[in-house]
Structure 1
């Protein structure tokens, strides 16, 4: 985000852009001045935002939820998987999170604060720890001439430090998994660039799992005299939680020399009874660098002693030995300083690392212990902090080369707009920061609990799960369910394109859940009826709550009985073939085939009249769980036909000819019924109920065609929808849901009336779902509507990242005005479906060009 032309920072932005380029700051990315203030302050969705008609319709749900919420919070002392009374307020502060995949994350805000923590798996707290800072000290001729905390804050604590850096002189840039903060030190002719690097590397299953980040400080001295420059990194032992004062925490210095490289720093041992961990701050030692530390200081009071120690000579006293364990009520912090001399008109570099070692984890139930993926390479004894830091500081340049090689073709593609390049990479933050866990499968683990399908089934330990581990991420940081499958349908493109082994591993886990059942009767909050927790041969909604025991107890979602949902089984089948198409993993296809047959047989019961097309129940029985649908519908009917189509394709690939003809018959009859019941000449009606709003225009009506196209199908023998009708429907969606909503500047509203006003029949029909919009844009691109697709998606990016200040917390939904819902959500990872569509079109174009060049084109 550029500062406005009247902003004093505008000239500085221009002046220092060349310096930024000199340190490798890419032109593309999300950019913001540290002095920026977002004008729009939205509120989270609350019950009072529901219309009176919707309140009356859901009054039973509200009463049942309240009773359940009280029992959960007051009796069981647990956090609800969705807390409707304590939605997270919008904090317009977040930057790129630190850390790899599955080992926890720490988010550093765009103003430099450490402000969002997810170390215990899947559980977040949002606390800015004010003592966690970087401070610069400049010395000339043996005298300190400048010492400043690099923070715009003026906190009521630590008054002995020099706070209040002028934000107009600093700029933040993010292109995940890297970020840059450029500080021009007023009056000093010195520019500091802090480059933040996390090991998020496509197709890398080792370093991508590491709970580390490197913070590299590049120093430009534009003076005609040399300077001694020191950077101090302070870190509190803990994360701002009440257990920081529980007592027993202690720090110790370390130095590790290995393979000709040496790193030193401080280990901060956090000794909680559950999931203890060690934070580690470290710096790389070199001949022309000085590294010093303060093992322990109290982050209370003025802290003048530490500040003055640095002022004296640009370094700290470096006491030896560990600190005593803290007493109850005490906090302890540590400080690390790296320094170097920078010649006149010269440059210097100082390298820091932050790591956290929590090798063994338990979820909320504390029934089982899980071992994180990174321990395969660095051990599970809880003493890996030094080696993690050493590895990071000696390998981060390799990581950057890999990241640049991956991003370069996209960044250099002049046909792609800059906002898209920023969105594509920055939305990827959720792969690591989505409460993500990546753990080893136990030696005696069995993904299906010993249950097999009647027609064969899954191996107890599929090779991909045994070799690459188990992967899970949350539906959202506020919607706390792992691998929510109806939403993963959209988000999964990021995994299958960048870490396909994790995508397949997740699929094996879901398949293992399919064949299992849990007949425990449970109250559904929506209708007040009891039903089994998990029904055999139905895809689970999710694999569990991190505050309970994921994988062991699935379906944490208890608002609806999702065994009656129409989309989950179909999405599994569509996933299977798309994943096979992109990986060509034949063993995977063969393993999944019996599961696909089982879930399709279960879904057949939803075709009540035998016309080859399933019906919805009259309730909210799919991913739009607040928007009722009756009879055959565009969304679920389209997913059904697409899944039948891929069953035909898989049957042919596996030489199951009789199965092919069975599904071919269903496809032919179902496609005819779909057209007859839903096509109105311009688009597919929302449903076929004949209600007043059944002809609403649903933005997601072509989701089935989207997945067919992503799987290389959708035409010829494997076609479920006439292409000309798909094009007509997408044009209607663009004209109505996009251009006639909010002036065409906010993406696509979920439901639009044909007269051009949003469908306000439910709490979801008049929302924009960012992940759905990216999927819609991908569909448009597949169908040749490239500019329309980019225009549609741009509205979401501009709204979320630039207008609403929701960087690195993209929500599930927002309305045209006033409110948003569910910050930091899984579904927007679907932007990678746009990239797949663009790549497939380019490949098809190259193929056509090659064919014409070879004389194969027709005249």
Structure 2
């Protein structure tokens, strides 16, 4: 019987909202679906005030309090003041003092964090009671003028949506049901491309993406997946609770409170889900996190260190579906205590579709590996028809005992396993046969006696072995990357578990070695260290897919070249989603920005992606499809064009690319040019002028440049033109004629094409592109330079708009070679343009507190003539910030980047789900987005700057 659902109406008391949120909650996993309903405002507030706030430099007392907050995390007031005075923070932040006393209490936060001394100052910090102060919802309410303009498109899209209503998951974008953010996300579990499992910073497990490319974001938490702490003194249990504050009642949310009370009669009602949220503290520093629990009743402190093996340039360990949980338990009491920690898990992903999909099987194991005693249990189940085996285990150290629960009912009241733990401090004898094998929970318990004023550690491991996967249409079975090392049979999970325990110490050291140069870099403010490292969460949690090459692909994808086949065989095929909301693999106009993260940490994966797209250039698919924005039918894939994406994971990607049907992207001006630039970086920087790759890619580069010359330069002046539609990554922002955005990309693409032509010996191409470049430079400067910045385009409506991203091509080219960049545009004009962007798009937008808005009028008003012009794009903010580093304005760079990070991570509850766009207030768009990985372009530039110095 499927869990029942209840509807909960919650509304904001903020007068700026005219909406309520309807939440459907299911009983066991608390999945919910959100809808915006127009109604009057109510009394209940889903999003109470946040405890934490930014700095007001004009108020010395506030500064000292915030410094004390940082001090409790290992920083000093002196350092904090230095950062403020060097403009690493804006001047006019607003501070919420509502939780100063609670903040000051936490000065001992690092005293127990002895596992990794290098992280004592750094990461994203939250108390269990942390709530947003910047209340936002998904954007669904464009101004009336835009509604009128977009009405024909909206009606066409509605028809498309209704046609797919029963299979809405198949939509590449579900525009009428966007994801709502959950303000409690923490660092996710797992390597990259192996399927991830989400964590709530309050202790819960949530948001699985074990199905390739599909993030089940509606799963808020799973009641059966928990850590439970039990403490005995002199044989009597004095404490037993679930180590999670997810279920703590919020007195302000009365309706939610009442629903949870009703639930208490049903699923796992015997378990104590009332851990005080104020007694929990969290630090996230991907791929690690630390959760500290204060057990005040017993004078015990418990710290859980979570770690997944994401290690730059380590293509084996980073592919593994495993996470380690290392608990350090400190007994500060005067009594010896028997302390047990129980780790429980159930089948499925929390999605009710898979809770009873097939029969489950469990099996216990006991390994002695290099004198390490490893005990645990495996749970075999199916998810969307794919076999998945969960493995729970622990290391049994001297003076410890591990007991195993092979089976309990995860949808029952949980009494048997709870009472066994409470009575005996272990879970060996569970008499629970009141259910079938459709739903099974398992558990691993580590117990030991800890003497008064001593401490010890307990180590658990979670593995999910899902070696063979398929996409939504189930046409091709594929092997995950890690199977290269461990195989696909069921017994592979035994080796994964052993390998995890034998290597986790080495993983920890390798992660420290990777992150230490960043964390100890005195040129980086502490918040930036958190932003930089934590934004990498998307490599794990962006629906990423990493699969092994299969010779069978030649039949369904004849366009795969011998070169790319060899790359796939060595490094695999990698994909990640544009967004949790926008399910398209490797959306290239966005990957252009995000690619700095892969180029920095996994350049072989970046090479695989570039090689994959190189084969796509000549590929064609003449089948006609409807493009809803322009209401035209055109081929799915036009030759001599880069595809927008490699397909929808809910369908059959790779075989079917270009699932984006808003526009016919064959007419987009940026895709081809962005590919040329990334291909040159791949050749020149990542592969050290690899001539074999150049021979492979140059013919495609040449054909793409020729398209620009023959089809996009309509007046033969050397400069391409935009055609009065949204024909680039700003897909709701029209450009006319010569535009600064596409024009700068064209100049840069020509420049690197000259270099590639010269290196490969194409004298004719070199001369031709050099001649066109000189003409194009003259046109760009003559038509767009206004003495202060480059105009947006040649249209009457928006020509003088100050576009934040106006020099995207120059920025990317400069990241490859400063010398090449300075040959296409005068430095003084580049400098003036970027300072203008800083002064207008940053300082005149939300008082400089929220990054850079895309479009600003020269009168200091946000450009509202087009949708997207009035948005702040997080990834563009970080890209512009790196541009400012290129021109020597490091302080201004950190200032605009901080506004973006502070809004997302500290104020709006958007941490570990950074959206594509934020509006000045109330709204965001497309959470869990790829483009913010562009923050690594800032590190790219800072690293080059350090080498020069």
Instruction: Give the equivalent residue in structure 1 for 2:19.
Output: none
Kindly indicate whether the alpha-carbon contact (under 8 Å) linking 2:563 and 2:696 is maintained by their aligned counterparts in 1: no
Kindly indicate whether the alpha-carbon contact (under 8 Å) linking 1:562 and 1:621 is maintained by their aligned counterparts in 2: yes
Inter-partner Cα distance in structure 1 for 2:473 and 2:820: 49
Kindly indicate whether the alpha-carbon contact (under 8 Å) linking 1:714 and 1:720 is maintained by their aligned counterparts in 2: no
Instruction: Give the equivalent residue in structure 1 for 2:44.
Output: none
Inter-partner Cα distance in structure 1 for 2:516 and 2:215: 33
| Equivalent residue runs for 1:741-756 within 5 Å | 741-756=845-860
Inter-partner Cα distance in structure 2 for 1:775 and 1:693: 22
Q: Cα distance, 1:651 vs. partner?
A: 1.7
Inter-partner Cα distance in structure 2 for 1:581 and 1:232: 52
Instruction: Give the equivalent residue in structure 2 for 1:693.
Output: 798
Q: 2:296 aligns with which of 180, 183, 186?
A: 186
CA distance change for structure 1 residues 705 and 264 in 2, over 3 Å: closer, same or farther?
Answer: same
Kindly indicate whether the alpha-carbon contact (under 8 Å) linking 2:548 and 2:569 is maintained by their aligned counterparts in 1: yes
Q: 1:101 aligns with which of 192, 217, 220?
A: 192
| Equivalent residue runs for 1:590-739 within 5 Å | 590-604=695-709, 605-689=711-795, 691-715=796-820, 719-739=823-843
Inter-partner Cα distance in structure 2 for 1:841 and 1:161: 55
Inter-partner Cα distance in structure 2 for 1:78 and 1:822: 16
Q: Cα distance, 1:129 vs. partner?
A: 0.6
Inter-partner Cα distance in structure 2 for 1:768 and 1:388: 43
CA distance change for structure 1 residues 825 and 21 in 2, over 3 Å: closer, same or farther?
Answer: same
| SS of match in other structure, 1:339 | strand
Q: 2:575 aligns with which of 456, 461, 472?
A: 472
| SS of match in other structure, 2:153 | helix
| Equivalent residue runs for 1:266-665 within 5 Å | 266-272=377-383, 274-317=385-428, 326=436, 331-446=439-554, 449-451=557-559, 458-459=561-562, 461-583=564-686, 584=688, 585-604=690-709, 605-665=711-771
| Equivalent residue runs for 1:2-151 within 5 Å | 4=97, 6-20=99-113, 24=117, 25-46=119-140, 49-74=141-166, 78-125=169-216, 126-127=218-219, 128-151=221-244
CA distance change for structure 1 residues 312 and 319 in 2, over 3 Å: closer, same or farther?
Answer: closer
Deviation by residue 1:112-166 (Cα, 9 ceiling, x = unmatched) = 1111110110112221111211111112233222212112215523221222111
| SS of match in other structure, 2:444 | strand
| SS of match in other structure, 1:644 | helix
Inter-partner Cα distance in structure 2 for 1:205 and 1:446: 25
Inter-partner Cα distance in structure 2 for 1:418 and 1:77: 42
| SS of match in other structure, 1:118 | coil
Inter-partner Cα distance in structure 1 for 2:814 and 2:564: 32
Instruction: Give the equivalent residue in structure 1 for 2:42.
Output: none
Q: Cα distance, 1:443 vs. partner?
A: 2.6
Q: Cα distance, 1:448 vs. partner?
A: 10
| SS of match in other structure, 1:184 | strand
Kindly indicate whether the alpha-carbon contact (under 8 Å) linking 1:265 and 1:280 is maintained by their aligned counterparts in 2: yes
Q: Cα distance, 1:380 vs. partner?
A: 1.0
Q: Cα distance, 1:313 vs. partner?
A: 2.2
Q: Gaps (5+ residues) in structure 1?
A: 453-457, 846-859
Kindly indicate whether the alpha-carbon contact (under 8 Å) linking 1:9 and 1:33 is maintained by their aligned counterparts in 2: no
Inter-partner Cα distance in structure 2 for 1:613 and 1:424: 36
Instruction: Give the equivalent residue in structure 1 for 2:87.
Output: none
Q: Cα distance, 1:318 vs. partner?
A: 5.3
Q: Cα distance, 1:748 vs. partner?
A: 0.1
Deviation by residue 1:362-386 (Cα, 9 ceiling, x = unmatched) = 1011111111000011111243222
Inter-partner Cα distance in structure 1 for 2:555 and 2:501: 37
| SS of match in other structure, 1:20 | coil
Kindly indicate whether the alpha-carbon contact (under 8 Å) linking 1:358 and 1:382 is maintained by their aligned counterparts in 2: no
Inter-partner Cα distance in structure 1 for 2:447 and 2:695: 58
Deviation by residue 1:40-99 (Cα, 9 ceiling, x = unmatched) = 3211011xx11222122222211111111111233x565311001111112111110000
Instruction: Give the equivalent residue in structure 2 for 1:814.
Output: 918
Q: 2:318 aligns with which of 200, 208, 215?
A: 208
Q: Cα distance, 1:728 vs. partner?
A: 0.3
Instruction: Give the equivalent residue in structure 1 for 2:57.
Output: none
Kindly indicate whether the alpha-carbon contact (under 8 Å) linking 2:164 and 2:170 is maintained by their aligned counterparts in 1: yes
Q: Which moved more, 1:51-60 or 1:784-793?
A: 51-60
Inter-partner Cα distance in structure 1 for 2:672 and 2:286: 33
Q: Cα distance, 1:276 vs. partner?
A: 2.0
| SS of match in other structure, 1:771 | helix
Inter-partner Cα distance in structure 2 for 1:368 and 1:498: 30
Q: Gaps (5+ residues) in structure 2?
A: 1-51, 53-68, 70-95, 249-259
Kindly indicate whether the alpha-carbon contact (under 8 Å) linking 2:527 and 2:898 is maintained by their aligned counterparts in 1: yes
The answer on 1:767 being equivalent to 2:871 is: yes
Kindly indicate whether the alpha-carbon contact (under 8 Å) linking 1:340 and 1:350 is maintained by their aligned counterparts in 2: no
Inter-partner Cα distance in structure 2 for 1:796 and 1:461: 38
CA distance change for structure 1 residues 542 and 323 in 2, over 3 Å: closer, same or farther?
Answer: farther
Instruction: Give the equivalent residue in structure 2 for 1:854.
Output: none
Inter-partner Cα distance in structure 1 for 2:563 and 2:691: 18
Inter-partner Cα distance in structure 1 for 2:784 and 2:853: 20
| SS of match in other structure, 2:574 | strand
Instruction: Give the equivalent residue in structure 2 for 1:853.
Output: none
Kindly indicate whether the alpha-carbon contact (under 8 Å) linking 1:250 and 1:323 is maintained by their aligned counterparts in 2: no
| SS of match in other structure, 2:158 | helix
Inter-partner Cα distance in structure 2 for 1:147 and 1:439: 43
Instruction: Give the equivalent residue in structure 1 for 2:929.
Output: 825
Inter-partner Cα distance in structure 2 for 1:323 and 1:793: 56
CA-based RMSD: 2.0
| SS of match in other structure, 1:98 | coil
Kindly indicate whether the alpha-carbon contact (under 8 Å) linking 2:348 and 2:382 is maintained by their aligned counterparts in 1: no
Kindly indicate whether the alpha-carbon contact (under 8 Å) linking 1:447 and 1:460 is maintained by their aligned counterparts in 2: no
Deviation by residue 1:401-423 (Cα, 9 ceiling, x = unmatched) = 11100100110011110111000
How many residues align structurally? 832
| SS of match in other structure, 2:712 | coil
| SS of match in other structure, 1:119 | coil
Q: Cα distance, 1:319 vs. partner?
A: 6.8
Instruction: Give the equivalent residue in structure 1 for 2:7.
Output: none
| SS of match in other structure, 1:539 | coil
Instruction: Give the equivalent residue in structure 1 for 2:16.
Output: none
Kindly indicate whether the alpha-carbon contact (under 8 Å) linking 1:357 and 1:383 is maintained by their aligned counterparts in 2: no
Q: TM-score, normalised by structure 1?
A: 0.94
Instruction: Give the equivalent residue in structure 1 for 2:256.
Output: none
Q: TM-score, normalised by structure 2?
A: 0.85
